[in-house]
Chains A and B, each alone.
Chain A
Amino acid sequence: MPDSLHEKTAAELGECLAQGEASAVEIADAFVARATAVDEKVHAFLHRDDEDFLAQAKRSDERRANGQSRGALDGVPVALKDVISMKGQPLTAASRILENYVSPYDATAVVKLKEAGALVWGRLNLDEFAMGSSTENSAFGATHNPWDLSRVPGGSSGGSAAAVAARQAPLTLGSDTGGSIRQPASLCGVVGMKPTYGMVSRYGLAAFASSLDQIGPFSQTVEDTAILLGAISGHDPLDSTSYPTEVPDYRKGLTENQGPWKLGLPKEFFGEGIDDEVRRLVDEAIAFYQAEGHELVEVSLPQTELAVPVYYVIATAEASSNLARYDGIRYTHRSERAENAIDVYSKSRGEGFGEEVKRRCILGAYGLSSGYYDAYYLRAQKTRTLIRKDFEAAFEQVDAILTPTSPTAAFKQGERSDDPISMYLSDVFTISVNLAGIPGISVPCGFTKDGLPVGLQVIGQAFKESEMLAVAHAYDKTHQFGRRYPEL
Chain B
Amino acid sequence: MSEIQYEAVIGLEVHVQAETRSKMFTRVARGFGEPPNTLTDPVVLGLPGALPVMNLEAIEKSIKVGLLLGCEIARVCKWDRKNYFYPDMPKNYQISQYDQPICLGGEVEIELEGETRAVMGPHRKVKLTRIHLEEDVGKLTHYENDSLVDYNRAGSPLLEIVSEPDLFSPDEVFAYLTSLRNSLVYAGISDCDMEKGQMRCDANVSVRPVGQKELGTKVELKNLNTISGVRNGVEYEIQRQTSVLREGGSLTQETRRWNPDQRYTTAMRSKEMAHDYRYFPDPDLMPVKIDDAWIERIREEIPEMPFDKQRRFIEQYGLPYSSTSPLCPDKELCDFFEATVARCKDPKKAANWIVNDLLRELSSAGDEEGPMPLGNAKMTPAHVAELVNLVEEGSISSNIAKEIFPETFATGKMPAQIVDEKGLKQTSDTGELETICSQVITDQPKAVEEFKGGKENAINALKGQVMKATRGQANPKLVDEILRELLSQ
Q: A and B: partners?
A: yes
Q: A237-B53, A241-B286, A368-B280 are in contact. Are A93 and B92 (CB under 8 A)?
A: no
Taking a contact as CB atoms under 8 Å apart, the answer to whether A241 and B283 are in contact is: yes
- Of A261-269, A320-328, A388-396, A458-466, the segment with at least 4 beta carbons within 8 Å of chain B is A320-328
Taking a contact as CB atoms under 8 Å apart, the answer to whether A321 and B147 are in contact is: no
Q: Is A331 located at the chain interface by the 8 A CB criterion? A: yes
Taking a contact as CB atoms under 8 Å apart, the answer to whether A210 and B283 are in contact is: yes
Q: Is A288 located at the chain interface by the 8 A CB criterion? A: no
Taking a contact as CB atoms under 8 Å apart, the answer to whether A330 and B46 are in contact is: yes
Q: A238-B51, A329-B149, A341-B147 are in contact. Are A211 and B46 (CB under 8 A)?
A: no
Taking a contact as CB atoms under 8 Å apart, the answer to whether B54 and A324 are in contact is: no
Q: Is B90 located at the chain interface by the 8 A CB criterion? A: yes
Write out, one digit per residue, whether chain A residues 312-343 have a CB within 8 A of any chain B CB (1) or not (0): 00000110110011110111000000000110
Q: Is B87 located at the chain interface by the 8 A CB criterion? A: yes
Assembly CA distance A104 to B90 (angstroms): 16
> In chain A, what residue has the closest Cβ to B86?
A341
CB distance from A174 to the nearest CB of B (A): 15
Q: Is B276 located at the chain interface by the 8 A CB criterion? A: yes
> In chain A, what residue has the closest Cβ to B91?
A325
Taking a contact as CB atoms under 8 Å apart, the answer to whether A369 and B46 are in contact is: no
Residues facing A in B63-83 (CB within 8 A) are 81, 83
CB distance from A440 to the nearest CB of B (A): 20
Residues facing A in B434-469 (CB within 8 A) are none
Taking a contact as CB atoms under 8 Å apart, the answer to whether A241 and B46 are in contact is: no
- Residue in contact with B49 in the complex, picked from A205, A329, A373, CB distance below 8 Å: A205
Q: Is A307 located at the chain interface by the 8 A CB criterion? A: no
Taking a contact as CB atoms under 8 Å apart, the answer to whether A365 and B51 are in contact is: no
Residues facing B in A99-115 (CB within 8 A) are 101, 103-105, 107
Write out, one digit per residue, whether chain B residues 44-57 have a CB within 8 A of any chain A CB (1) or not (0): 01111111111000
- Residue in contact with A369 in the complex, picked from B42, B49, B85, B276, CB distance below 8 Å: B276
Q: Looking at chain A, what size class is its interface with the partner chain?
A: 35 or more
- Residue in contact with A321 in the complex, picked from B52, B53, B278, B286, CB distance below 8 Å: B278
Chain B: residues with Cβ within 8 Å of the partner, total of 31
Q: Is B284 located at the chain interface by the 8 A CB criterion? A: yes
Taking a contact as CB atoms under 8 Å apart, the answer to whether B83 and A105 are in contact is: no
Interface centre among A101, A321, A326, by most chain B C-beta atoms within 10 angstroms, is A321
CB distance from B394 to the nearest CB of A (A): 67
Taking a contact as CB atoms under 8 Å apart, the answer to whether B42 and A104 are in contact is: yes
Assembly CA distance A325 to B149 (angstroms): 15
Taking a contact as CB atoms under 8 Å apart, the answer to whether A103 and B47 are in contact is: yes
> In chain A, what residue has the closest Cβ to B286?
A240
CB distance from B10 to the nearest CB of A (A): 27
Q: Is A275 located at the chain interface by the 8 A CB criterion? A: no
B residues less than 8 Å from A126 (CB atoms): none
Taking a contact as CB atoms under 8 Å apart, the answer to whether A324 and B83 are in contact is: yes
Assembly CA distance A368 to B92 (angstroms): 15
Q: Is A345 located at the chain interface by the 8 A CB criterion? A: yes
Taking a contact as CB atoms under 8 Å apart, the answer to whether B280 and A327 are in contact is: no
Assembly CA distance A217 to B62 (angstroms): 42
Taking a contact as CB atoms under 8 Å apart, the answer to whether B83 and A368 are in contact is: yes
Taking a contact as CB atoms under 8 Å apart, the answer to whether B48 and A85 are in contact is: yes
Q: A321-B81, A321-B280 are in contact. Are A203 and B49 (CB under 8 A)?
A: yes
Assembly CA distance A326 to B284 (angstroms): 18
- Residue in contact with B85 in the complex, picked from A211, A331, A345, CB distance below 8 Å: A345
Taking a contact as CB atoms under 8 Å apart, the answer to whether A370 and B276 are in contact is: yes
B residues less than 8 Å from A241 (CB atoms): 51, 283-284, 286
A residues less than 8 Å from B295 (CB atoms): none
Q: Is A98 located at the chain interface by the 8 A CB criterion? A: yes
B residues less than 8 Å from A317 (CB atoms): 280
Q: Is A123 located at the chain interface by the 8 A CB criterion? A: no
Q: Is B285 located at the chain interface by the 8 A CB criterion? A: yes
Write out, one digit per residue, whether chain A residues 197-224 have a CB within 8 A of any chain B CB (1) or not (0): 0000011111101110000000000000
Q: Is B93 located at the chain interface by the 8 A CB criterion? A: yes
Assembly CA distance A10 to B283 (angstroms): 35
> In chain B, what residue has the closest Cβ to A101?
B48
Assembly CA distance A377 to B81 (angstroms): 14
> In chain A, what residue has the closest Cβ to B25?
A240
Q: Is A239 located at the chain interface by the 8 A CB criterion? A: yes
- Residue in contact with A365 in the complex, picked from B48, B49, B278, CB distance below 8 Å: B278
Assembly CA distance A272 to B71 (angstroms): 58
- Residue in contact with B278 in the complex, picked from A202, A237, A368, CB distance below 8 Å: A368
Write out, one digit per residue, whether chain B residues 77-105 have a CB within 8 A of any chain A CB (1) or not (0): 00001010101001111000000000000
A residues less than 8 Å from B92 (CB atoms): 324-325, 327, 345
Assembly CA distance A206 to B92 (angstroms): 15
CB distance from B22 to the nearest CB of A (A): 13
Assembly CA distance A424 to B49 (angstroms): 25
Interface centre among B42, B147, B280, B285, by most chain A C-beta atoms within 10 angstroms, is B280
A residues less than 8 Å from B278 (CB atoms): 320-321, 365, 368-370, 373
Write out, one digit per residue, whether chain B residues 199-232 have a CB within 8 A of any chain A CB (1) or not (0): 0000000000000000000000000000000000
CB distance from A283 to the nearest CB of B (A): 38
Q: Is A120 located at the chain interface by the 8 A CB criterion? A: no
Q: Is A73 located at the chain interface by the 8 A CB criterion? A: no
Q: A324-B92, A368-B83 are in contact. Are A211 and B283 (CB under 8 A)?
A: yes
Q: Is A91 located at the chain interface by the 8 A CB criterion? A: yes
- Residue in contact with B45 in the complex, picked from A211, A240, A330, A341, CB distance below 8 Å: A330
Assembly CA distance A327 to B41 (angstroms): 18
Assembly CA distance A344 to B92 (angstroms): 13
Write out, one digit per residue, whether chain A residues 331-375 have a CB within 8 A of any chain B CB (1) or not (0): 100000000011011000000000000000000010011100100
A residues less than 8 Å from B47 (CB atoms): 85, 103-105, 331
> In chain A, what residue has the closest Cβ to B147?
A341
Taking a contact as CB atoms under 8 Å apart, the answer to whether B286 and A377 are in contact is: no
Taking a contact as CB atoms under 8 Å apart, the answer to whether A210 and B280 are in contact is: no
Taking a contact as CB atoms under 8 Å apart, the answer to whether B53 and A324 are in contact is: no
A residues less than 8 Å from B54 (CB atoms): 240
CB distance from B107 to the nearest CB of A (A): 32
- Residue in contact with B280 in the complex, picked from A84, A93, A373, CB distance below 8 Å: A373
Taking a contact as CB atoms under 8 Å apart, the answer to whether B284 and A210 are in contact is: yes
B residues less than 8 Å from A320 (CB atoms): 83, 278
CB distance from A152 to the nearest CB of B (A): 25
A residues less than 8 Å from B51 (CB atoms): 202-203, 238-241
B residues less than 8 Å from A209 (CB atoms): 283
Taking a contact as CB atoms under 8 Å apart, the answer to whether B280 and A341 are in contact is: no
Taking a contact as CB atoms under 8 Å apart, the answer to whether B42 and A330 are in contact is: no
> In chain A, what residue has the closest Cβ to B79?
A240
> In chain B, what residue has the closest Cβ to A327?
B92
> In chain A, what residue has the closest Cβ to B92?
A324
CB distance from B177 to the nearest CB of A (A): 31
CB distance from A360 to the nearest CB of B (A): 15
Q: A202-B51, A239-B51, A329-B149 are in contact. Are A324 and B280 (CB under 8 A)?
A: no
CB distance from A357 to the nearest CB of B (A): 14
Residues facing A in B147-176 (CB within 8 A) are 147, 149, 151
> In chain A, what residue has the closest Cβ to B48?
A206
Assembly CA distance A324 to B48 (angstroms): 11
A residues less than 8 Å from B81 (CB atoms): 321
A residues less than 8 Å from B42 (CB atoms): 104-105
> In chain B, what residue has the closest Cβ to A364?
B278
Q: A85-B48, A98-B48, A317-B280 are in contact. Are A341 and B286 (CB under 8 A)?
A: no
Assembly CA distance A91 to B42 (angstroms): 14
CB distance from A405 to the nearest CB of B (A): 26
| A positions within 8 Å CB-CB of B | 83-85, 91, 93, 98, 101, 103-105, 107, 202-207, 209-211, 237-241, 317-318, 320-321, 324-327, 329-331, 341-342, 344-345, 365, 368-370, 373, 377
Further pairs besides A91-B48, A321-B83: 7, Cβ < 8 Å: A84-B49, A85-B47, A207-B49, A240-B52, A240-B286, A341-B147, A373-B279
Sample 29 A-B pairs with CB under 8 A, ordered by A number.
A91-B49, A103-B48, A104-B47, A105-B41, A107-B49, A203-B49, A207-B48, A207-B284, A210-B283, A238-B53, A239-B51, A239-B53, A240-B54, A317-B280, A321-B93, A321-B278, A324-B92, A325-B48, A325-B91, A329-B87, A329-B149, A330-B46, A330-B151, A331-B47, A368-B279, A368-B280, A369-B276, A370-B278, A373-B278
